[in-house]
Chain A
């Protein structure tokens, strides 16, 4: 009976998840005062970017700030992404689970797909891709072949068919792993030993061909007229590096660029909504802002203390005051509320009275009467709260966190660091708490989530055996249902004893010149600037429909 109830719960959850994901996509829409009707094709578009991409290979792009540039050139077996649980066949025509334990999968490839140099895409390339990611020079996609999951066997069955075998079950191979790994050409990479010194242009099967670039200045792409999904709707794309956000948005207003591939700051949205030459679109960004607690230092190894800290933090006012309500609050916990893999009814409590009671019980009491609690051993508390200087919204967030902690008697002092020093904290762990961004790959990709959980345990002062046991069960789960069920358990545990407290999930608000091109679609995790916005409508499976809904802030 219990088993039946469990199965029923998971089934209902999965149906709800699909519905919630679909509704999340529909949320994307025009938020300008007027929804104009501009051209659906264009000869040439200039888009502002702010993050360099080297020669656009899997070794010079590795983050979610600009991975959409990579997807202009490269395709995956299924698309659009591992985040939505709805990936559709792309370079593959069929991906089949061939063993009950979900360790063996067979991939049937689309025939007639060509690389940009005219050679044919075959099983040789797929096998090479998985082997190269597993054993070759490491990059951001390596973990999908070398760790979670670890592929142990790659067999070419025929010119268009490959069999993969993994060490542990990979029931989500067709929806996560295959939806994230870009296929690379064997001919181009097989002799490359130091890929970060490779100077050639990345060759892919994607809708755009990189024809010229100057790293840190511009990238020129031309449409791949022989693209297997049909000729792209925009003939040429020029992506121009403009690091300063004010300059980029000014260039959009003056018409020097046709779109700004970075989210508009919340405080500008109201003003920009009434600009007749600009259209604003809202898209699920799948980004998050979190409070990261260093569990490698005392007293944060204490689960109940972390629970009390979590109860003392209210993300709602942060969303309202800092993000001007443009996003979702972190009160739904971790991971991203719009991800397919997240329990839809997840909730993190805010209860400062309970936090105070818990702190009292833990021995964190104010012994010297200065208004702040001392640790159980009598030592003063003044936690090191770190934030990066180039993140004004996060600076305001950490100020609110410090204030909320003070309300339950916990003291923290803010320290700001330049962005490069701040990035170094991930490895040095020289902080007590920090406020930082988390990307879609880190927040909505199931394989990556487990790597984060494993890393947490590796760094923790005291190993969290309960969490490690859940992770172990996740790794052994051999069906999608079982894995989803364990994922929900993991989320519940994480939200109860968090080492990361989610503060908010921002909306992606993107601005473009509708007179230049007005045929963008949103895709969760990528915003509106990505290859699907430049493909014919039949190729837009898995993304939301064209941007059409109006939402008022």
Chain B
């Protein structure tokens, strides 16, 4: 029980520290939100008093400690203030965007995990032969491509040249939500951004899976299993792969936490309405309220994913149980 209380307190302190950093960081960057609300000529036309009245609409005219207090208390009441860039409550924007980010990132994570793990363990199992070299080489090449370039190339190929897929967006505007056409369009619009993300992320998963599998294959118990004359399939799945799962599990759990952050570049290129493109909007307009809101979501999800991972480690790996 003490283990869990200590774990909880540890995460509570981490959460408060992260929330405080979320508040401070956007304010340290040069530039200010007023530039996103008004263009230069309009700023020029206003007195300092008028500019403060504009900022008051967003609660940004208040002393910094009051803004901090409003931010912390707002987290518990779901009030993150009004977005300077979007002109609507931050909470509404987050709730609108979250499902699309979860869909995109979840799909990308699923594809990258399945493909990355499969190819990674096969690569490790076939270490040193041509299959290993080919898989590693190709995946490293794809993984090193800049995501925005990869995204643009996919658009040129599949949207402009072949005309198979739409170039942008997450859903068809003007089609009844929930209809078959709507679902088909959502699926088509998901393919390119999720594919681009999966290709980039898959390379990392493959390397982790390969290295983890190689470590496992080097262990004495594998040699012992081979010496016993166990079938290859049994050695692969029961002894090598099961022991290689732990680092992969950590990576997948971290990936779930990172889902909320979205994919900044990919979402922007594909005009995909997720949290990633919202971060770009927030950063480019120094929208403190919006950035705070997104970062709270991201922080809580990362910490929650880690917390869950910590909770389940003892179930997955008996070596991490208390007393062992």
- CA A197 to CA B56, docked complex, whole Å: 10
Give residues 420-477 of A contacting B (CB, 8 Å): 420-424, 426-428, 436, 438-439, 441-442, 448, 451-452, 455
Known: A143-B45, A426-B35. A215 touches B30 (CB 8 A): no
A142 touches B45 (CB 8 A): yes
Contacts of A52 in B (CB 8 A): 85-87, 281
In Å, the complex CA distance between A248 and B35 comes to 25
A254 in contact with B39 given A216-B278, A424-B32 (CB within 8 Å) = no
Nearest CB of A to B284, in Å:
5
CB pair A254–B35 under 8 Å, yes or no, is no
With an 8 Å Cβ cutoff, the count of chain B residues facing the other chain is 57
CA distance A179 to B160 in the complex (A): 42
Residues from chain A with Cβ under 8 Å of B86 in the complex: 52, 54, 215-216
Contact of B271 with A by CB under 8 A: yes
User: Which residues on A sit within 8 Å (CB–CB) of B269?
Assistant: 244, 246-247
Is B31 a contact of A424 with CB atoms below 8 Å?
yes
Interface string of B149-179 (1 = CB under 8 A from A): 0001001100110010011110001100000
Is B160 a contact partner of A196 (Cβ separation < 8 A)?
no
Assuming the contacts A240-B173, A241-B271, A424-B30, asked whether A256 and B168 have C-beta atoms less than 8 A apart, the reply is yes
A63 CB contact (under 8 Å) in B39, B152, B156, B169:
B39
Would you call A147 an interface residue if the criterion is a C-beta within 8 Å of the partner chain's C-beta atoms? yes
**Residue ID in chain A nearest B51 by CB atoms:** A138
Residue of A nearest to B270 (CB): A247
Tell me which residues across on chain A come within 8 A of B115, comparing CB atoms: none
Q: How far is the CA of A449 from the CA of B160 in the complex (A)?
A: 44
- Interface status of B96 (Cβ within 8 A of chain A): yes
**B87:A59 contact, CB within 8 angstroms:** yes
Measured between beta carbons, the chain B residues less than 8 angstroms from A427 are: 32, 34-35, 43
Within 8 A of B (CB), among A30-68: 44, 46, 52, 54-55, 59-60, 62-64
> What is the 8 Å Cβ interface bit string for chain A, positions 133-160, against chain B (1 contact, 0 not)?
0000111101100010000000000000
**Residue of B at shortest CB range from A54?**
B87
Query: Distance in Å from the Cβ of A521 to the closest Cβ of chain B?
Result: 25
Nearest-neighbor residue (CB-CB) of B271 within chain A: A242
Check A137–B168 contact: CB distance below 8 A: no
Residue A194 interfacial (CB < 8 Å): yes
Q: Does B220 contact A (CB under 8 A)?
A: no
In the assembly, what is the distance between CA of A240 and CA of B273, in Å?
11
Q: How far is the CB of A26 from chain B (nearest CB, A)?
A: 28
Q: What's the dominant secondary structure at chain A's contact region?
A: mixed
- Give the distance in Å from the alpha carbon of A311 to the alpha carbon of B268 in the complex: 42
Looking across the interface, which residue of chain B has its beta carbon closest to that of A57? B87
A423 touches B40 (CB 8 A): yes
Most buried by A among B42, B156, B269, B285: B42
Return chain B residues, CB-CB under 8 Å to A147.
45
- Which listed residue (A44, A59, A256, A439) contacts B41, Cβ 8 A? A439
Q: Give the residue name and chain of the A residue nearest to B166 (CB).
A: A256
Contact of A253 with B168 at beta-carbon distance under 8 Å, contacts A142-B45, A452-B44 already known: no
- B169 contacts A215, CB within 8 Å? no
Is A187's beta carbon under 8 Å from chain B? no
Contacts of B37 in A (CB 8 A): 62, 196
A367 within 8 A of partner (CB): no
Q: Which of B57, B93, B160 sits near A250, CB closer than 8 Å?
A: B160
Say whether A243 contacts B41, CB under 8 Å: no
Range for the number of chain A residues in contact with chain B: 35 or more
Are the CB atoms of A254 and B166 closer together than 8 Å?
A: yes
With a CB–CB cut-off of 8 A, which chain A residues contact B159? 250-251, 254
Which of B36, B88, B152, B167 has a CB less than 8 Å from the CB of A254?
B167
Counting chain B CB atoms within 10 Å of each CB, the highest count among A59, A195, A197, A199 belongs to A197
Query: Which A-chain residue is minimally distant from B57 (CB atoms)?
Result: A196
Q: In the complex, are the beta carbons of B53 and A138 less than 8 A apart?
A: yes
Q: Does A321 contact B (CB under 8 A)?
A: no
B156 touches A250 (CB 8 A): yes
Contacts of A265 on B, CB cut-off 8 Å? Answer: none
Does A420 lie within 8 Å of B88, measured CB to CB?
A: no
Interface flag for B29 (CB, 8 Å): yes
Q: How far is the CA of A441 from the CA of B44 in the complex (A)?
A: 12
A417 in contact (CB, < 8 A): yes
Q: Mark A206-229, 1 if CB is under 8 A from B, else 0.
A: 000000001111101000000000
Which of B50, B83, B93 is within 8 Å of A142, CB to CB?
A: B50
* A247 x B167 contact (CB < 8 A): yes
Task: Return the contact of B283 from the options A44, A63, A138, A420 (Cβ within 8 A).
Answer: A420
Bound CA–CA A419/B281 (angstroms): 11
Q: Is A238 an interface residue (CB 8 A)?
A: yes
A451 and B45 contact, CB distance less than 8 A: yes
Tell me if B173 and A238 are in contact (CB < 8 A): yes
Q: Which residues 96-122 of B have a CB within 8 angstroms of A?
A: 96
Is B305 at the interface (CB under 8 A from chain A)? no
Indicate if B210 sits at the interface (CB-CB under 8 A): no
Interface residues of B (CB under 8 A from A): 29-32, 34-46, 50-51, 53-54, 56-58, 82-83, 85-88, 93, 96, 152, 155-156, 159-160, 163, 166-169, 173-174, 268-271, 273, 277-278, 280-281, 283-286
Please name 17 pairs of A and B residues whose Cβ atoms are closer than 8 Å in the assembled complex, sorted by A. Answer: A54-B88, A59-B87, A138-B54, A139-B38, A139-B42, A142-B46, A196-B54, A214-B273, A215-B93, A250-B167, A254-B163, A254-B167, A423-B31, A423-B40, A427-B32, A427-B35, A452-B41
Q: Given contacts A147-B45, A439-B39, could you give 9 more A-B pairs where the C-beta distance is less than 8 Å?
A: A138-B53, A140-B42, A247-B168, A250-B156, A420-B30, A420-B35, A420-B283, A423-B31, A442-B41
> What are the 4 tightest A-B residue pairs by CB atom distance, in nearest-first order?
A54-B87, A424-B31, A423-B35, A143-B45
